[in-house]
Amino acid sequence: NAGVMQNPRHLVRRRGQEARLRCSPMKGHSHVYWYRQLPEEGLKFMVYLQKENIIDESGMPKERFSAEFPKEGPSILRIQQVVRGDSAAYFCASSPGVNTEAFFGQGTRLTVV
Amino acid sequence: GIQVEQSPPDLILQEGANSTLRCNFSDSVNNLQWFHQNPWGQLINLFYIPSGTKQNGRLSATTVATERYSLLYISSSQTTDSGVYFCAVGDNQGGKLIFGQGTELSVKP
């Protein structure tokens, strides 16, 4: 049973470009969470999705950030018009249900130059 | 929202020593997990422990939910235990995890 798969592992974007981060949850997991880790900090919740639905986006910046988890395919975190402050590690987690054990992918390290 | 505090923030040990890491949280929770973030940034699940005591090799954890704290014990530490240890609790509104700031552990040979 493969773990949570994230790609790419590393992503470099110039200011103003778009970044797309992908996450495939573990088999049998229908709950997906995105977190951001700034340098030397802990992880901060961004968004919680189930198939085709955003359940909680209270941690998402109001502009430029969006997320989806379509019926088919991976979950996507999209950042438009990236700025240097978006440079961080973005982690995806999945779980089989609410308040069950969550498992994390290896993260995507975004660098904005 | 729920506040999660970990202590100590930093810890330096000699190989073979034992340690206790603490996690305090401000409200009742239905989910608590401990993670190890290794020097390569990977988050490794250690324990899913909303209450009670669990052991896995040299590591064990105890959560006293009524008193809102959890402890992670590391015995006979090894250099490969180095990294950051995070406690994360699930909020009661949907299951997202709230992370503490972590304890950075360095084990010296």
Does pLDDT of A99 surpass 90?
no
What are the chain B neighbours of A1 within 8 Å (beta carbons)?
A: none
pLDDT score, position A1: 54
Q: Do B45 and A101 touch (CB under 8 A)?
A: yes
C-alpha distances out from residue A108 to A7, A11, A21, B22, Å = 6, 7, 7, 29
Query: Could you tell me if A43 and A34 are in contact, meaning their C-beta atoms sit under 8 angstroms apart?
Result: no
pLDDT score, position A42: 85
Residue B82's pLDDT band, with cuts at 50, 70 and 90, is very high
Dump pLDDT digits (tens) for B20-77: 999 999 998 889 999 999 988 999 999 999 999 999 999 999 999 999 999 999 999 9
Q: Do A103 and B93 touch (CB under 8 A)?
A: no
Q: Which residue of A has its CA nearest to B94?
A: A98
pLDDT score, position B6: 98
pLDDT score, position A41: 83
Q: Do B41 and A43 touch (CB under 8 A)?
A: no
Measured CA to CA, the distance from residue A40 to residue B109 in angstroms comes to 24
| Residue B71 near chain A (CB below 8 Å) | no
What are the chain B neighbours of A93 within 8 Å (beta carbons)?
A: 97
Residue A111's pLDDT band, with cuts at 50, 70 and 90, is very high
| CA distance to partner chain A, nearest, from residue B78 (Å) | 23
